[in-house]
Structure 1
Amino acid sequence: MRIATTIFLTDETITPVRIARELEERGFAGLYLPEHTHIPVERISPYPAGGELPPQYGRILDPFIALGQAAAVTETLGLGTGITLVAQHDPIDLAKQAATLDHLSGGRLTLGIGYGWNREEAEDHGVEWSSRRALVRERVALMRALWAEEPTAYQGAFGSVRASYAYPKPVRGGAPRILVGGAPGPKLFAHIAEYADGWMPVGGGGFSESLPQLRQAWDAAGRDPGDLTIVPYAVAPNPGKLAHYEELGIDEIVVLLPSADEVTVLKALDEYTPYL
């Protein structure tokens, strides 16, 4: 079982360089960073976890720049986004950012992607809320065209790209590992089976019902069962939970660290280290 971490890195927390070095030295598998470009003050969208939105949501560092710093001071630490709000990006720019980070890190990138929950944030990016899933699906297809070994054109309802020279390429060929976040359901599972490598569910509960549904969608799409990756995200670990995940064939989890100063974060790492 590989144990990675996620944290809301901000202008007030431990730095990307410091936490990356600590994680690699201790033997953690990776560092996943969330994304929000901004949080509009006038907000209608409820916080998914309930209650007031924590202040760190409006202070998050750009994940690709922060992960670039982490890559520069580590050799083996996995680097991931959890999640990238693909609908809020120009896909040509995002394809270049992801491929560059993957190339410079020696193929260590996992591109965790999702559809978002903050309607006001997305609308400021020009995203039509009702079509964001279809938009993300197309933008992944456009990025795959740019990552292809030979110049490949893509034409979709939301955008297009000419056959182009676009380097660097993702190290593993075709694309970095892509995991889709989101609540379980037929539409999500169909999209995962169509264009991703697996699922990144927040919390990691309810698998007895959801995993058979995902595997059924995966099989229906003609995918190899051995290629499906499931990475529970923002997990609070305990021995029983890890044993249960192992029985389900899950070999990587992401534990949540506090969005805090260096002393507090290192103390949390001390508490998680025995699970390694």
Structure 2
Amino acid sequence: MRLGVTMFATDLTMEPHELAREAEDRGFVSLYLPEHTHIPVSRETAPPTGADQLPEEYARTLDPFVALAAAAVVTERIRLGTGVSLPAQRDPIVTAKAVATLDRLSGGRVTLGVGFGWNREEAADHGVPWKRRRAVAREHVLAMRELWTAEESEFKGEFVDLPRTWSWPKPAAARVPVLVGGAAGPTLFAHVAEYGDGWMPIGGAGIREALPALRDACAAAGREPVPVVPFGTLPSREKLDYYASLGVEEVVLRVPAAGRDEVLPVLDGYARTYGVPGR
């Protein structure tokens, strides 16, 4: 089983390019960074953590694409992913170019993890109708696919109207993998089956029960089953063995949103305990 890592990278944590280098040196295969453009101070949306107060790190996140570009410069093999980006809140033309540029400069190492968001106020500031955010995200990803692959791109939908256009660079990879994050359900799996290259469940609970529905959604779309990549996992040997028994090939482990002195011992412990090749 391959193991990656994710950290809530902020202006107060270990620098993400340093984390990428240290993770690669220890044999981890991927690094994922989250996205929040901002956090409105006046909010009605409850924190997704279940806590009374939203942790400060949500308001201090680095831009994931800029941070991953820095990571690309100091690494050679580790995959560089968003976990997750919020495409409904992003201009698809600008984002398509950012992803393609990062993929080209990193030698085809980008994975785009996408989600639909939980913060109504944040989405509203971007002009995203809350009940339509999944539809907006879908069109934005489909439009980006068009920009990444077609010599003359064109897309017409409800939220994106792109006339024939040129857009370079194209990604270095033949296909930028898109992992769709979110809780199991028919709507989520319809998105995965239509435009995703995998499902990224946060934490990974309930995978066994959800797999038949995911396979059915893929079959209905005329596709083979897609990979499942449990994300933000706090590992144990039993948990990783359980994932392996389900056919999971990659798990993304959580490291604390902290400085080097706290993060590196966690990386070393994961590598030592779960058999990640060392330096």
With structure 1 as the length reference, what TM-score do the two structures score?
Answer: 0.97
Asked whether the 8 Å contact 1:142–1:160 carries over to 2, the reply is no
Letter of the 1:253 partner, please give it. Answer: V
Q: CA RMSD in A?
A: 1.0
CA contact (8 A) 2:80 2:109 kept: yes
Partner-residue secondary structure (3-state), 2:180 = strand
**Deviation (angstroms), 1:224:** 2.1
Alignment correspondent of 2:240: 242
- Give, as a single letter, the amino acid of the residue that structure 2 aligns with 1:218: C
What does residue 263 of structure 2 align with?
Answer: 265
68-77 or 156-165: which moved more?
A: 156-165
Aligned to 1:128: 129
1:27 counterpart residue number: 27
CA–CA distance in structure 1, aligned partners of residues 122 and 218 of structure 2: 32
Inter-partner Cα distance in structure 2 for 1:172 and 1:70? 18
3-state SS in 1 of match to 2:233: coil
5+ residue gaps, structure 2, are none
- Structure 2 length normalisation: TM-score? 0.96
Which residue of 1 is the match for residue 67 of structure 2? 66
Q: What one-letter code is carried by the residue in structure 2 that aligns with 1:272?
A: Y
AA aligned opposite 1:148: T
CA distance in structure 1 between the aligned counterparts of 2:270 and 2:155, rounded to whole angstroms = 45
Name the SS for the 2:263 alignment partner.
helix
- The Cα of 1:171 is off from its aligned counterpart by 2.2
Alignment partners' CA distance in 2, 1:41 and 1:260: 23
What's the % identity of the aligned pairs?
54
* Shift in Å, 1:197: 0.5
User: AA paired with 2:55?
Assistant: P
Deviations 1:179-227 (A, max 9, x none): 00011100110111011111000011111211111111111110023xx
In the other structure, the counterpart of 1:102 is 103
Task: Find the aligned partners of 1:167 and 1:229 in 2 and give their Cα distance.
Answer: 29
Aligned length: 273
SS in 1 for 2:61: coil
For residue 242 of structure 1, report the CA deviation from its aligned partner. 1.1
Unaligned runs of 5+ in 1: none
1:193 aligns with 2:159: no
Counterpart Cα distance in 1 of 2:268 and 2:182: 30
Aligned match of 1:210: 210
The equivalences for 1:1-276 within 5 A come to 1-51=1-51, 52-173=53-174, 175-225=175-225, 228-274=226-272, 275=274, 276=276
Q: Give, in angstroms, the shift of residue 91 of structure 1.
A: 0.4
Question: Is the Cα–Cα contact under 8 Å of residues 200 and 229 in structure 2 kept in the other structure?
Answer: yes
| 1:149 positional shift | 3.5
